[in-house]
Structure 1
Amino acid sequence: MAKLANELGTEKIGKLLIKQAVPATIGILVMSLNMIVDTIFVGQWIGVLAIAAITVVLPIAFLISSIGMGIGIGGSSIISRALGADKTEKAFLTFGNQICLTLILAIIFVLLGNFFSVPILNLFGAKGDILPIASDYFAVVIYGVPFLAFAMMGNPVIRAEGKPKFAMYAMMIPAVLNIILDVIFIKFFDWGMTGAGLATSISYASCGLYILYFFLSSKSELKILPKNFKLDFKIVREIIALGGVTIVRQGAISVLMIVLNYSLFTYGGEISISIFGIINRVMMFALSPVLGVSQGFLPVAGFNIGANKNERVKEIIKKSIYFGSILGTVIFIGIVIFKEQIIWVFTNDETLLSETPNAMLIVFLVTPIVTMQLIGSAYFQAAGKAFPALILTLLKQGIFLIPLAYILPKYYGVAGVWWSFPIADILSTIITVLVLRDEVKKNLKVVSG
């Protein structure tokens, strides 16, 4: 652990941020590219409704897997601070509890997903001609979700160990595999949505198995020890309190998807859901660098908070926001210039080609400022302050975007859905900046001496 302490506690912040953020960005980028290619393949080889079906199903899969993500992020916050305070045993116990919690909860939710698949799909917007296609996809994808949940749990833990490159590899392997299998199952075997689902499920399994391999090998400083599987109430409570932020955020995103798909179907039909499916994939890919900065921020901030190095914590906050804002600006300029060309990659449908570019431009309108919100909520997670982290995380998707996406379309039709995104971004960013500024003034005072 000494090498990790030397790097996270003493190395220059700019260098540390790059070292942590670049692999995270590449990993997210490749995983997002995987989703984009998946959408391109089904859109070109199966049809427009297939895009709508994937748009409906993936939020369900990610809702279940977000249990693992929440446990991973909550536990990695504890692990980072424990390592910073030289409490190795607590780090090991936390890791064992994370594994146990993830597997139990993921299997329970997969069983529920199997028994209640049709009502769940209906709830998330699989209506009309979308339902049979979505059912074929969901019936296969659901079996890969426990592997995805384990991978989502393990990835932030690997970063907390100070091994961002291995976390990157864990996200790249399934992305590349899924693209290859998509071509084989959809194009050559002509298995349709079942083939697309099978490719996705196998790629999830490869990711989970790679994470398992990492922790069983000599590369990991955290070991899988059966004695640590016994749940410790105090550790579990802290994991859930911090990880609950991520789980509730994904829950809010799932509710948001229900509201969005309802509004889109009501005011624009199946085609509007397909439009959002394309925009959502582009958003995941384009925002990867910004999300990478926030992911890189977490282990560095958590370690230095645990080590009481307030000056370094303030510096990582400032530099993360600075770099993320520059990236956000570049992303927005790229969307403005290439919006038509981006949509053409997904489909040759005339309606989608004419309606999607302007809608996408509106959704991305305030991208340059979103890093402020991401770093604000990430700071409170890194500091182990669950309640403010929860509130700030819910600001955009839960508190602002859900009601806006429901109310605005009643007056402005489908355009109201698109405008709800930048409005929610502006409101949530203003509040986050004010709260973070107050926190820095009160609790990150630097004692001279």
Structure 2
Amino acid sequence: MKTEELGSARILPLMFRLALPSLASCLINVLYSIVDRIYIGHLSSASSAALTGVGLCLPVLQMISAFSAFAGSGGAPLCAIELGKKEKDSSAQIQAQKIFSNAFFLLLFFSAVLTFTVLLFYRPFLYAFGASEGTFPYARDYLRIYGCGTVFVQLAMGLNPFISCQGHAKTAMLSVFIGAVLNIILDPLFIFVLGMGVKGAAWATVISQGISAAWIFAFFLSKNSCLKIDSRIFKPEGSIIYKISALGISPFIMTVTESGVYAVYNYGLHKFGGDNWVGAMTLIQNVQLIVYLPLAGFCSGIQPLISYNYGARKFLRMKYVITVMLLVTGITEILLVMSVSFFPFFYTGIFTGDSQLLNIAAPMLRFYILGMYIMWLQHCAQTVFVALGKAKISVFIACLRKIILLIPLAFIFPRIFGVEAIFCAEPCATFCSATTSGFVLYFLCKKIWKASYSEMEPRIL
């Protein structure tokens, strides 16, 4: 697909050409994210302690991915907007390249800082997130190895949005697919055949991410990419980094506060319930990934299309894209959440055969997942805010759900109503923030549509 097709091709087929590979990427990414836990959860000995230990690493892994989102999700929409302007402004291509180079610099810088931090401070991190003497050895083994591969994680996750923003959705999907398939193959080999257990799962993930990063490097060095890896990577510009930061802070907050939420959850569950309750939350969060990532994948595929047409001032095309995105994600998410609500033992049973964990996790899953009935509205709104470069609005919505609502509720509920109440914090916070997001999106789009009345565009379907 040529980049110019984002502003000229018929919209409905174009949306699905972009969204389906991105959706496939996120479905594959579900496997990437949870396949370690599936295998570990079925280890013949100490499976529940090992699963809980790896689950305790999740807040740290979320923090690492937050920095890749900062550079990737902050820079890619800006690149897409500049590439949209390219039709009318020849200097836009140069500006897009500068944005890409500065984002690349940030990813390398974050890699160095995060590797040092994780390897030096993994012990206090894990104990702060609810580790016990029984689960800490498993968490330590996994996190130390994963920390060594931080640079691969940063480059694989942070550079992939710059492939999608050029319209190469299939290539972006393949970068995820290659790593995920390799991870699925290496996991049983390292965990069971070589008897490495949790360490084997970590090595499988690091090697797989390294291969994904190499694939992405090859794309940016090829003639298919209009963004290139060159010496400008090592010449950061303050003004451009500021723009990336202003937009990237929203996805960063959304991801890093997820880490904070997990920490509060794990602390409360360990204090009021014990290791089995922490393990049950790990199962529930795995199921949440199955429900959430298809939503994220579809919206991620659509985002470059919104950004490009906003930059090209083709507002009617943008309006149609947003409308279809809301309809597709709303219907899909409601059906998925209904499925999980009806069959909670099936979904949690994917990850473990431990009856104690299942008897805690399955009933609590029904309460925890209720917020996903409306979460699609917030994610669509966030996608639009980031795509249009509306950094302040995006940051406010990101902070509203996690910092203002969810973390305080997760801290307060178990102290008043008991350990089970902590699972109700998620739907309460999600309902309030998603409703607010919907109203903000409505008024923002209403303002933009006024500019479209004089720009009648034929053949948008």
Given the two structures, how large is their TM-score scaled by the length of structure 2?
0.94
Task: Identify if the C-alpha distance between structure 1 residues 118 and 366 changes in structure 2 by more than 3 Å, giving closer, same or farther.
Answer: closer
Give % identity. 32
Letter in 2 for 1:182: D
Match of 1:31 among 9, 12, 29: 29
The equivalent of 2:89 in structure 1 is none
Q: Which amino acid aligns with 1:159?
A: S
Match of 2:232 in 1: 227
**How far did 1:147 drift?**
0.7
Matched residues in 2 for 1:244 and 1:210: separation? 27
Is the deviation greater in 9-18 or in 373-382?
9-18
Q: State the match for 1:40 in structure 2.
A: 38
- Amino acid of the structure 1 residue aligned with 2:165: A
Q: List aligned pairs for 1:16-415, cutoff 5 A.
A: 16-45=14-43, 46=45, 47-86=47-86, 87-415=92-420
Q: Deviations over 1:138-162 (max 9, x none)?
A: 1111111211111111111111010
Structure 1 counterpart of 2:448, from 424, 443, 448? 443
Q: Is the 8 A contact 1:107 1:146 kept in 2?
A: yes
Secondary structure of 1:20 counterpart = helix
Shift of 1:27: 0.8
2:154 alignment partner, SS class: helix
Secondary structure at the residue paired with 1:116?
Answer: helix
After superposition, give the CA deviation of every residue in 1:283-308 in whole Å (9 maximum; x if it has no partner): 11222221112112210110011011
C-alpha contact 2:76 2:162 (8 A) present in aligned 1: yes
Aligned residues: 447
Higher alpha-carbon deviation: 272-281 or 28-37 = 28-37
Report the Cα offset of residue 261 of structure 1.
0.7
- Contiguous gaps of at least 5 residues in structure 1: none
1:225-280 CA-to-partner distances (Å, cap 9, x unmatched) read 11353111111110111111122222211111111111111121111111111111
Instruction: Give me the whole-angstrom Cα distance separating, in 1, the residues matched to 2:416 and 2:232.
Output: 59
Aligned-residue offset at 1:418: 1.0
Q: Cα deviation per residue 1:174-198 (whole Å; 9 max; x = unaligned)?
A: 1111121111111111112111111
Residue segments in structure 2 that go unaligned for 5+ positions in a row: 87-91, 456-461
For 1:80, the aligned partner's letter is: A
- The letter of the residue matching 1:53 is G
TM-score, length of structure 1 as denominator length: 0.96
Q: Deviations over 1:346-384 (max 9, x none)?
A: 222121222211211212213232111011111111111
Partner secondary structure for residue 235 of structure 1: helix
| Counterpart-to-counterpart distance in 1, 2:10 and 2:338 | 30
Give 1:63 shift. Answer: 0.9
Letter matched to residue 31 of structure 2 = L
Question: For the Cα contact (< 8 Å) 1:36–1:285, is it kept in 2?
Answer: no
Q: RMSD across aligned C-alpha pairs, in angstroms?
A: 1.5
- Give me the whole-angstrom Cα distance separating, in 1, the residues matched to 2:437 and 2:115: 35
SS in 1 for 2:148: helix
Task: Assess if the C-alpha contact under 8 Å between 2:59 and 2:260 holds in 1.
Answer: no
Q: Which runs of 4+ in 1 moved over 4 A?
A: none
The CA distance in 1 between the partners of 2:234 and 2:390, in whole Å, is 25
Q: Which shifted more, 259-268 or 364-373?
A: 364-373
Is the 2:309–2:315 Cα contact (8 Å) retained in structure 1? yes
Secondary structure of 1:287's partner? helix
Q: Does 1:432 align with 2:432?
A: no
Tell me if the contact between 2:65 and 2:255 (Cα under 8 Å) persists in the aligned partners.
no
Question: Per-residue deviation at 1:444?
Answer: 3.1
- Aligned residues of 1:66 and 1:149 also touching (Cα < 8 A): no
